[in-house]
């Protein structure tokens, strides 16, 4: 399912859910039941036929050999089915804390879980994220039996006040609460189970799931879309339930502060940390100390208000079940404040003063230092190789920049060298350092798509609306620039509150994405029954291909054609079909075909977007009859017979 199809389906179901809530829930229940029914039917069919075979064998109604063979096959099918759908999600990783080490944290967890009547938490992990989350790991795949994890991001705890952290934690624990409703919790868990299964399947390409790809690749995204409206409603409900415990003002402050903290890290912390790869071959011993240094500086109030304003301009979309900040705050505005609640602070959102206690120090108490040290070690180990590689790249970039600078001062730079110089300067110094070089390049080649895209991106980052003009030039010059240019323009306009223009760019990006998906699907399979036309390539190009193929043992004949396509017709879809020189009795024909295909791919210079197909014995004559009907398709080469 494409992003456009997903969004269209969710929009329809959201409207349907608001008008017909009960039928909508029945639709979700039936959709969920369909997935379980598919699994159980597949398993039951295999086991049922196996049982029938055993009984037939006992009664003497079937031959011994055929029964054993079929029974063996069905047993394998049943095992594969169970293995495919019992795939357990990989457990979350982090630094586990225990009650005796962090009594304040567990006292808070106990209070919230008691108030919300949640099931027990099996593990509490401190992680290296600016986030907090509840993770349910289905130990039996889509059949459930959940293990509950609470994941608490230490960067979040270092940036937030204890009150803000309490509000965030209350929201997350509400997802486990029966106050969500039994049906909603069941759907929530089913979404987690299918999502976990899909991630595991793509990550591990586990054997067994390949038997059911068409149904499952359709079903998992379809169930996600069907239950999307309910999942989003659960986010509003979690805010409401948490606000009932900590107060609406505290909940709103935590949500807004979280947005501002994220921008603060993006603007100040991550760029400073990344620049250290230029001079240091190894990552810092404590990246969290670096974060604390950034957080201890007083953030200017005008920056806080600017970041909050931009966050409030964002609209709720379908990329995430979480509503936009403005919608969440508006929903909380409808709730009455708790009796005798303290007055909200004058500054909204309240960004923690450097002298205030952090949630990390308050709730982790004496264990905060050990927790930070453990996460620092694991982070340094996880990024060491990537950091070293980045450092080497920066060293090479520095040397290359010096070389290009010297050449620029003497004989001048070519267009490609100027583009390379600008890219290296941005990586080493900043976008401001690269901007004059990019503008110099565009003065020579105004339609340079990559340079227009880069200038547009850099200008928008400086809140200069002129960047939109450069993005328009980029997407007009190169189809590959359409999606990134539209995403940059849409994000900028969204932050400025121009939702209509932002949506125009989003739609344009979605259409381009859909075209690319359609083109990929159309070009991924080439068969004799397709419509072909002459390749239209120059004679010298074909002469070079023929000469290279002539030196390849195993090539009996070769044809080059162009497939007629419906999507992105301006981009050719070439097919090089090779008839191998192979005896009918030769063993391991598939292996030989793959080896020949790989040799041609790596040693023959072919036009871009060319698929290489090796015709097997069954399809050889059909291919030849089809290709001979296309003028100029045969490649005149004299292949050497296979030894």
Given a cut of 70, whether residue 87 has pLDDT beyond it is: no
Same-domain status, 159 and 214? yes
Question: Would you state the pLDDT for residue 556?
Answer: 84
Question: Would you state the pLDDT for residue 383?
Answer: 92
Q: Tell me whether residue 187 is in a domain.
A: yes
d(CA 188, CA 235): 11
* CATH assignment of the domain containing 458: 1.25.40.10
State how far the alpha carbon of 210 is from the alpha carbons of 202, 204, 494, in Å.
Answer: 11, 12, 41
Q: Tell me whether residue 642 is in a domain.
A: no
Buried b (16+ CB within 10 A) or exposed e, 299-320: beeeebeebbebbbbbeeebee
Residues 548-591: tens digit of each pLDDT: 888 887 788 889 999 998 888 888 999 998 888 766 555 556 67
Same-domain status, 347 and 475? no
Q: Which of 538, 543, 534, 484 shows the shortest CA–CA distance to 508?
A: 484
Residue that terminates a domain, selected from 521, 553, 571: 521
Residue that terminates a domain, selected from 347, 370, 397: 397
CB 339 within 8 A of CB 246: no
Residues 36-71: tens digit of each pLDDT: 787 777 767 766 766 666 666 555 555 555 555 555
Residue 424's domain spans which residues?
413-521
Given a cut of 60, whether residue 203 has pLDDT beyond it is: no
Question: Would you state the pLDDT for residue 378?
Answer: 92
Q: Which residue has the higher pLDDT, 48 or 529?
A: 529
Q: Tell me whether residue 41 is in a domain.
A: yes
Q: Tell me whether residue 636 is in a domain.
A: no
CB 450 within 8 A of CB 481: yes
Q: Tell me whether residue 548 is in a domain.
A: yes
Same-domain status, 334 and 202? yes
Same-domain status, 301 and 327? yes
pLDDT band with cut points at 50, 70 and 90 for residue 636: confident
Same-domain status, 352 and 474? no
What angle separates helix 431-444 from helix 415-428, to the nearest 10 degrees? 170
Backbone angles phi, psi at 336, to 5 degrees: -75, 145
Residues 122-148: tens digit of each pLDDT: 999 999 999 999 887 766 655 556 788
pLDDT band with cut points at 50, 70 and 90 for residue 337: confident
Q: Which of 129, 152, 147 shows the shortest CA–CA distance to 287?
A: 129
Q: H or E element: which one contains 481?
A: none
Same-domain status, 502 and 393? no
CB 592 within 8 A of CB 582: yes
pLDDT band with cut points at 50, 70 and 90 for residue 642: very low
* CATH assignment of the domain containing 549: 3.30.70
Given a cut of 50, whether residue 294 has pLDDT beyond it is: yes
Same-domain status, 513 and 582? no
Number of domains in the chain: 4
Residues 482-496: tens digit of each pLDDT: 999 999 999 999 888
Q: Which of 225, 184, 177, 174 shows the shortest CA–CA distance to 21?
A: 184
Judged by average pLDDT, the poorest of 104-118, 198-212, 435-449, 605-619 is 198-212
Question: Would you state the pLDDT for residue 343?
Answer: 66
d(CA 154, CA 160): 10
d(CA 602, CA 544): 15
Q: Which of 398, 252, 407, 261 shows the shortest CA–CA distance to 337?
A: 252
Q: Which of 619, 523, 618, 539 shows the shortest CA–CA distance to 574?
A: 523
Same-domain status, 252 and 374? yes
Q: Return the structure tokens found at 505.
A: 């760019």
Q: Tell me whether residue 638 is in a domain.
A: no
Residue that terminates a domain, selected from 464, 487, 521: 521
Q: Which of 156, 160, 138, 134 shows the shortest CA–CA distance to 147?
A: 138
Judged by average pLDDT, the poorest of 76-90, 432-446, 520-534 is 76-90
CB 467 within 8 A of CB 459: yes
Question: Would you state the pLDDT for residue 207?
Answer: 44
- Looking at 524-642, list the stretches that DSSP marks H as alpha helix, in order from N- to C-terminal side: 539-550, 589-603, 620-628
Residues 589-627: tens digit of each pLDDT: 667 888 888 888 888 888 888 988 888 766 778 888 888
Q: Tell me whether residue 643 is in a domain.
A: no
Question: Would you state the pLDDT for residue 234?
Answer: 87
Q: Tell me whether residue 5 is in a domain.
A: yes
Strand partners, 577: 559, 613
Question: Would you state the pLDDT for residue 196?
Answer: 62
Q: Return the structure tokens found at 452.
A: 């227009």
Query: Pairing between strand 95-96 and 123-127?
Result: antiparallel
Same-domain status, 314 and 369? yes
- Looking at 496-561, list the stretches that DSSP marks H as alpha helix, in order from N- to C-terminal side: 499-523, 539-550
Same-domain status, 510 and 577? no
Q: Please compute the mean of the pLDDT values over residues 13-33 and round it to a whole number.
A: 86
Question: Would you state the pLDDT for residue 60?
Answer: 54
Round the average pLDDT of the chain to a whole number and report it: 83
- Chain CA centroid to CA 179, Å: 31
- Chain CA centroid to CA 465, Å: 29
Helix, strand, coil in percent for the chain, rounding step 5: 65, 5, 25
CA quadruple 142, 147, 150, 153: dihedral sign: negative
Judged by average pLDDT, the poorest of 69-73, 334-338, 518-522 is 69-73
Give one DSSP letter per residue of 379-418, joined into a string.
Answer: HHHHHHHHHHHHHHHHHHHHHHHHHHHHHHHHT---HHHH
Give one DSSP letter per residue of 189-209, joined into a string.
Answer: HHHHHHHHHHHHHHHH--TTG
State how far the alpha carbon of 220 is from the alpha carbons of 192, 229, 574, in Å.
Answer: 11, 16, 34
Same-domain status, 493 and 601? no
Residues 349-369: tens digit of each pLDDT: 888 888 889 999 999 988 999
Same-domain status, 546 and 439? no
């Amino acid at each position: 399912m494409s992003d456009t199809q997903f969004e269209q389906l969710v929009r329809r179901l959201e409207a349907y859910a608001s008008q017909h809530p009960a039928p909508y829930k029945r639709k979700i229940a039936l959709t969920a039941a369909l997935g379980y029914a598919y699994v159980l039917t597949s398993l039951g069919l295999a086991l049922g036929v196996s049982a029938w075979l055993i009984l037939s064998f006992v009664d003497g109604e079937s031959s011994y050999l055929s029964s054993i063979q079929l029974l063996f096959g069905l047993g394998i099918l049943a095992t594969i089915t169970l293995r495919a759908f019992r795939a357990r999600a990989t457990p979350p990783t982090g630094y586990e804390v225990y009650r005796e080490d962090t009594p304040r944290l567990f006292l808070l967890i106990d209070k919230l879980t008691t108030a919300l009547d949640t099931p027990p938490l099996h593990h509490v992990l401190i992680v290296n994220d600016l986030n907090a989350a509840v993770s349910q790991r289905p130990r039996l795949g889509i059949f459930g039996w959940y293990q509950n994890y609470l994941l608490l991001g230490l960067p979040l705890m270092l940036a937030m006040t204890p009150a803000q952290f309490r509000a965030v934690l209350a929201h997350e624990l509400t997802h486990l609460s029966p106050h969500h409703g039994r049906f909603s919790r069941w759907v929530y868990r089913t979404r987690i189970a299918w999502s976990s299964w899909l991630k595991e399947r793509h990550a591990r390409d586990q054997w067994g799931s390949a038997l059911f790809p068409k149904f499952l690749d359709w079903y998992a995204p379809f169930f996600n879309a069907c239950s999307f409206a309910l999942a989003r409603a659960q986010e509003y409900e979690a805010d409401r339930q948490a606000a009932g415990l900590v107060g609406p003002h505290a909940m709103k402050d935590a949500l807004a502060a979280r947005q501002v903290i994220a921008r603060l890290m993006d603007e100040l912390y991550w760029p400073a940390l990344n620049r250290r790869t230029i001079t240091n071959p190894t990552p810092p011993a404590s990246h969290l100390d670096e974060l604390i240094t950034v957080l201890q500086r007083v953030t200017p109030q005008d920056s806080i208000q600017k970041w909050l304003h931009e966050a409030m301009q964002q609209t709720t979309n379908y990329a995430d079940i979480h509503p936009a900040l403005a919608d969440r705050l508006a929903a909380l505005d409808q709730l009455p404040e708790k009796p005798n609640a303290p007055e909200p602070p004058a500054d909204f959102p309240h960004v923690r003063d450097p002298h205030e206690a952090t949630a990390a120090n308050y709730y982790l108490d004496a264990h905060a230092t050990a927790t930070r040290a453990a996460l620092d070690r694991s982070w340094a180990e996880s990024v060491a190789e990537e950091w070293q590689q980045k450092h080497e790249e920066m060293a090479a970039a520095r040397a290359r920049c010096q070389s290009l600078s010297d050449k620029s001062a003497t004989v001048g730079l070519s267009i490609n060298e100027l583009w390379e110089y600008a890219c290296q300067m941005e990586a080493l110094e900043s976008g401001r350092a690269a901007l004059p070089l990019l503008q110099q390049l565009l003065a020579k080649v105004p339609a340079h798509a990559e340079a227009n895209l880069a200038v547009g991106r850099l200008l928008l980052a400086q809140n200069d609306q002129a960047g939109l003009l450069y993005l328009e030039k980029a997407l007009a010059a190169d189809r590959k620039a359409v999606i990134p240019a539209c995403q940059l323009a849409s994000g900028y306009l969204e932050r400025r509150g121009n939702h209509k223009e932002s949506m125009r760019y989003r739609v344009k990006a979605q259409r381009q994405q859909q075209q690319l998906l359609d083109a990929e699907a159309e070009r991924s399979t080439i068969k004799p029954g397709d419509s072909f036309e002459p390749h239209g390539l120059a004679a010298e190009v074909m002469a070079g291909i023929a000469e290279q193929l002539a030196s390849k043992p195993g090539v009996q004949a070769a044809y080059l054609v162009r497939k007629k396509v419906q999507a992105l017709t301006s981009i050719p879809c070439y097919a090089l079909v090779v008839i191998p020189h192979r005896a009918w009795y030769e063993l391991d024909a598939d292996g030989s075909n793959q080896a020949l295909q790989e040799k041609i791919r790596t040693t023959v210079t072919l036009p871009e977007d060319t698929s290489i197909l090796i015709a097997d014995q069954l399809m050889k004559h059909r291919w030849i009859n089809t290709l001979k009907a296309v003028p100029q398709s045969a490649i005149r080469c004299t292949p050497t017979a296979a030894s």
